[in-house]
Amino acid sequence: MTSNEMQKGKTLQSRTAGWKHSVSVRYVLFALLIIMFYASLAPKLLPETYDIAVGLPSDKEILAPMDIPDTKATLKAQEEAAEKVGQVYTILPLRNEVLVGQMLDRIFRLNQDDQVSTEDKIKIYREELPQRAQDHIQNFIRNNRNSPNYSEKLFEEVNEQISEQAYHIAEETFIKIPRLTPEDINEMKPVAADIVARLTTDQIVDAQTARAKVAEQVSTSSLSKRVSREVVQELARLAITANKFYDEEATKAAKVEAREKTPTVFIKQGDVLVQKGEKITPEMYSLLEKNGLLKDEVNYWPQFGLIILSSLLALGLIMYIRQSEGVSRFKYNNSQFVMLLLIILITILSMHVVNIVQNEQRPYIGYIAPVAVGAMLITLLLDMSLAYICSILFSILASVILNVHKGQIFDFQFGFFAVVISFAAIFAIHRASQRSTLLKAGIMITLFGSLAVFTLILVNNNGWTESSTLYAIGFAVAGGLLTTILVIGLMPFFEVTFGILSALKLVELSNPNHPLLRKLLTETPGTYHHSVMVGNLSEAAAEAIGANGLLCRVGSYYHDIGKTKRPSYFIENQNNMENPHDFIDPKLSKSIIIAHARDGVEMQKDYKLPKPIRDIAEQHHGTTFLHYFYHKALKLAEEQGVEPDFTEEDFRYPGPKAQSKEAAIVGIADSVEAAVRSLRKPTVEQVETMIEKIIKSRLDDHQFNECDLTMRELDVIAQTLKETVMGIFHSRIEYPEEIKKAN
């Protein structure tokens, strides 16, 4: 392959991979995530709109999507409440006992005035006593006119009732009053005041009723003289008036208050607004219009609220991913975002499919929804911590999508069930190494799902019967089995489509019965042993720096598979035979050696091995230099006396350089294992020096420029490789103490 062809290949590869890290693509995916949440929640949270017209029959039954205020029914209820409010009466503290005392005081003074004749006194009493009764009422009105407790209408009613119920003293009483002595008046005064006070303590609407009791009160009093009793009786009747009056303003205020306190009448969510085939009246049309149920009069506020809700859910997920990238070894690209969106979409669709057959009479059908599918796939294909966050997200979606109860947005029971089975699934498979682990996870889901359902039934036992309880638990068990089936079926799709190497797939590829590994073992046993050793070394080094150790191990098993095409040209397979390179041109030797990486990639493509495994085989040598054959070619040219027609570049691997930490680690481990194997009696110092030399040589040759290995990680890799080599080759490596003893 020429340098131009290599450059074109790199350019094409760069363009192909460019979208995976494009910021604009990531914004598009974020928008798609919002749209996905919006579309999944809209059927449950947005009211349906209808295309109808006044006077035409409705082609479908229209149900209330929410509790809708019924204006007509509310007005009727308010009027009924107002009608139940009776007339309101106000009781006035008129203190009529004061009036009778004032009248007796006036009689006491006037009777002692000898300058006034009896006829004049009679005339004065005839005019003054009724007037005093009227003045007493007017004084009360005047003194309380500005009081907020009394209205002008009330005072008008008082004047009217007092005037209608006015008492007229008998004429003979005016004749008897001047005859009263001061002693008589002093005796009459407390008796009259007591009688009036006692009788006006009650609520009086009709004064005549109270006045009828005066005679009995007087007859049982301490008054001995007949004249005194008769005068007291008449004066008490005059003083007694009604004290309870109809209050028109208070009645109106009470009716207003009754209307205001009448609760709004609602059309309950799910109630029929319009029957199918029923003609649309103007009232119906107005009701639907006011509540945004017409296509021409859509209420955009619920849609706006759902957009905000969807954006918050998507933003929370994206913000977590961005934060986790700073502390986790896992780095997300747009390809993985697409896969995450597909997993979320599959989970949401599965919930909607279950909701189709679910209803308010059989809500327990929702427990069969395979909500844990998303959590399991994310754990296996992406990251465990992300799976926990998505489980919470799925529980929120499940509480809305699987909710069949009218009048509420979220159903706590399905949200709780979803988060329990998702967490149980994650815990069961976070270290999965075999496909059978998925079956165990399914059993965990059924157990914890059944327990969650049973717990919810115990907490809220309303409406649960023995049969519905068994159905609910049965659907939860079926949901666990369905989840396992879906995960097992979907895993290969995601692995192939997105080139994902899950831990399960890697374990499968590490099986020695794989055709390529069997070929490697039978045809090149030396290379097979070398690959196994490289796998041990690279896995330990990768795990020490937080890289994918399992990928390094499996990639090491296949990294030299290309040597099976010409096994005898590689030193680990040259047992008891001459080295073929001793008899051929060093340029040809170079071509044979370099070809094993390219041949390995082609063989892996034929067997459809995942790209990360092929990348390790292609990149583990990078663009390293074949020193031995280069110098052998120089020496041969010198012996032949000709100028070299080649350069150092012609004796380099075509690359590319390691693009990932795993490929770089396998390359280092490959060189370390080969170097240690070449030592007859390696010592600890030799191993340390050799490892440091290999890493420094590759570092100086810029082999790590295209992967994100740091200097600190290279130091950790060197230390780990040293410890692992000493563990593997313990019997061969001589320690300083052993060397001294040998000497």
- Of the pLDDT bands very low, low, confident and very high (cuts 50, 70, 90), residue 16 is very low
Structure confidence by residue, pLDDT tens digits, 587-617: 898 899 999 999 999 999 999 888 889 999 9
221 contact partners, CB below 8 Å, separation of at least 6: 191, 195, 229, 232
Which are the contacts of 36, defined by CB distance < 8 A and separation ≥ 6?
Answer: 341, 344, 345, 348
pLDDT over 50 at 707, yes or no: yes
Q: How many CB atoms lie within 10 A of CB 165?
A: 16
Contacts of 432-437 with C-beta under 8 Å, sequence gap 24+, read 432/380, 432/503, 432/504, 433/503, 433/504, 433/507, 434/504, 434/507, 435/488, 435/504, 435/508, 437/504
Record the tokens describing residue 35, joined without a space.
């749209």
Q: Which residue has the higher pLDDT, 683 or 11?
A: 683
489 pLDDT more than 60: yes
Q: Map residue 26 onto helix, strand or coil.
A: helix
d(CA 334, CA 20): 4
Q: So what's the pLDDT on residue 21?
A: 79
In the chain the domains, ranked by start, together with CATH numbers, are 89-246 (no CATH), 325-500 (1.10.1760.20), 505-742 (1.10.3210)
The closest alpha carbon to 244, from 210, 209, 201, 205, belongs to: 205
Which span out of 167-176, 638-647, 733-742 was modeled with the highest average pLDDT? 167-176
Contact 167, 211 (CB under 8 A): yes
> Tell me, what's the pLDDT at 347?
95
Question: If we measure between CA atoms, which residue out of 541, 535, 540, 537 comes closest to residue 554?
Answer: 535
pTM: 0.62
Other CB atoms within a 10 A radius of the CB of residue 461 amount to 10
Number of neighbours of residue 168 by Cβ within 10 angstroms: 9
The DSSP call for residue 89 is E
Q: How far apart are CA 54 and CA 283, in angstroms?
A: 9
| CA distances for 199 relative to 135, 241, 617, 622, 661, angstroms | 21, 10, 116, 118, 107
> Mapping DSSP to helix (H, G, I), strand (E, B) and coil, where does residue 61 land?
coil
In a 3-state reduction of DSSP, which class is residue 297? strand
**Is-contact 452 423, C-beta < 8 A?**
no
| 691/275: higher pLDDT | 691
Question: Smallest Cα–Cα separation from 617: which of 707, 720, 737, 534?
Answer: 534
pLDDT digits (tens, 9 = 90+) for 140-193: 988 998 888 888 888 888 899 888 988 999 889 888 889 888 998 899 999 999
Residue 234 pLDDT > 80, yes or no?
yes
7 versus 725: the higher-pLDDT residue is: 725
The pLDDT-based confidence of 43 (bands split at 50, 70, 90) is: confident
Question: With 50 as the cut, is the pLDDT of residue 444 above it?
Answer: yes
Neighbours of 414 (CB within 10 A): 26
CA 713 to chain centre: 39
Q: Which residues of 26-35 are buried (b: 16+ CB within 10 A; e: fewer)?
A: beebbeebbe
| Of 662, 588, 580, 670, the residue nearest 624 (C-alpha) | 670
| φ/ψ (deg, to 5) at 293 | -100, 0
Residue 728 has pLDDT above 80, yes or no: no
- 432: pLDDT strictly greater than 60: no
The 10s digit of each residue's pLDDT in 501-555 is: 777 788 888 888 999 999 999 999 999 999 999 999 999 999 999 888 889 999 9
Q: Which of 443, 77, 454, 430 is nearest to 260 (CA)?
A: 77
**Runs of H (alpha helix) within 430-523:** 436-459, 466-497, 503-509, 515-523
**Maximum separation of any 2 CA atoms in the chain, in Å:** 176
DSSP string, 264-280: PPEEPTT-EEE-TTPBP
- Name the pLDDT band for 675 (thresholds 50, 70, 90): confident
What is the C-alpha to C-alpha distance for residues 362 and 360, in angstroms, rounded to an integer? 5
